[in-house]
Amino acid sequence: MPHRKRFLIHLAIILPLLLLTLAWPGAAPAELVSHADARPLMGTLVTVTAEGSRRDVLEQGANAAYREMSRLSDMMNHYNPDSVVSAINRQAGVRPVTVPRELMEVLVMAQRVSERTDGAFDITVGAFKGWRFNPENPAMPSAQEISRALPLVNYRHVILNQKNRTVLLKQPGMRIDLGGIAKLYILNAGMQVLKQHGIKQAMLNGGGDVTVMGTHQGRPWRIGIRHPRREGELLATVELTRGWVVTSGDYERYFIRNGRRYHHILDPRTGYPADGPQQVTLVGNDLSHLNGFSSAIMVLGAEKGRGLLNRLAGVEGLIVAPDGRVWATLGMPHRFKFLDSGR
């Protein structure tokens, strides 16, 4: 559970975007009803907005979606000592651990992203245990602690046996942290539950990562992309009837020390926060082409990130460089509306 102040900050960020979608004008059928809910989950605030003809179906679907997302979050949360991920970490260098199908799917996805990014994305950054990005009570490991942890960070030492569904961390002391890849998988699972309840129009928002299906009051869903340096302002908006808007940035969880910003996206090569863009936003329909890559681009930097983004099939995106300049793929002007006040 996040701290109360952080929860209120998330609420202040999410509610305007939620109201933005709810206030979208359009000629909706008279019988259309809407259900919106927001609950703390995965260290952030997850909102479910659904539309249909029966309010009871929408409420039941949303409740079922939250139950499924909570189940998966409990399974994959390394802070939870009873989670499967914690069991894997405890058995590092000792024995393989049998895992559920869903967790194996996430681990395979993480492995593929690591391979495509030459390790810029690496779930074994969990070995860097001394970081705490709560601005009210921050903490950072010593240089000696980071130096000792560096040999334990190597995605190639996560041994997956997909046939037997087992996972082994080769070295004692290794730890995996799925924070950079599990959330989208979990949001997608929530969306699948909504579909199983017959819901065809919905939006899920998990701390700025958004997936939608169908329309909103007869029009595409409109999603706001926050400005990385101007709190309360939007950089751009995008309209979708299907797919994802995924964002990584240095402003979500961070603290300032001696004039330097320390944020939660760690560079596996150094053990310190990535010294890359302020923000990366990706848009696309296929989760496997998006998940993990925005974090990887934060590590790779703006120049290499542009090259990677141009190679991702079916993905458009934008990168806000350290100096605030915005670069976008060629298709972005057709999907995004940049706001003058946000550039």
Say whether pLDDT at 16 is over 60. no
Numbered residues of the known binding site: 180, 295
- Complete domains list, the chain, with CATH: 4-58+185-342 (3.10.520.10), 79-169 (1.10.3980.10)
pLDDT, one tens digit per residue, over 41-83 is 999 999 999 999 999 999 999 999 999 999 999 999 999 999 9
Strands 260-263 and 242-249: unpaired
pLDDT of res. 333: 65
pLDDT, one tens digit per residue, over 316-326 is 999 999 999 99
Say whether pLDDT at 210 is over 90. yes
DSSP 8-state secondary structure symbol assigned to residue 14: H
Percent of the chain scoring above 90 in pLDDT? 85
CB of 202 within 8 A of CB of 241? no
CB of 282 within 8 A of CB of 316? yes
Which tokens belong to 28?
Answer: 């909706």
75 Cβ contact list (under 8 Å, min separation 6):
83, 84, 85, 100, 102, 103
**Residue 136 burial by Cβ neighbours in a 10 Å radius (0-12, 13-18, 19+):** exposed
Residue 337: pLDDT band by 50, 70, 90 thresholds? confident
CB of 263 within 8 A of CB of 298? no
pLDDT of res. 101: 98
pLDDT of res. 276: 94
Instruction: Give the pLDDT mean for 127-139.
Output: 94
Euclidean distance between CA atoms 294 and 290, whole angstroms: 7
Q: CA separation (Å) from 250 to 102, 119, 190, 199, 301?
A: 29, 19, 26, 35, 12
pLDDT of res. 13: 46
Percent of the chain scoring above 70 in pLDDT? 90
Distance of CA 38 to the CA centre of its chain: 17
Radius of gyration of the chain (CA): 20
CB of 50 within 8 A of CB of 212? no
Q: State the chain's mean pLDDT as an integer.
A: 91
Say whether pLDDT at 141 is over 90. yes
Identify which has the larger pLDDT, 25 or 167. Answer: 167
Numbered residues of the known binding site for Mg(2+): 180, 295
Strands 242-249 and 234-240: unpaired
pTM here is: 0.89
Say whether pLDDT at 167 is over 60. yes
pLDDT of res. 340: 59
Instruction: Give the pLDDT mean for 229-235.
Output: 92
pLDDT of res. 25: 47
CB of 134 within 8 A of CB of 255? yes
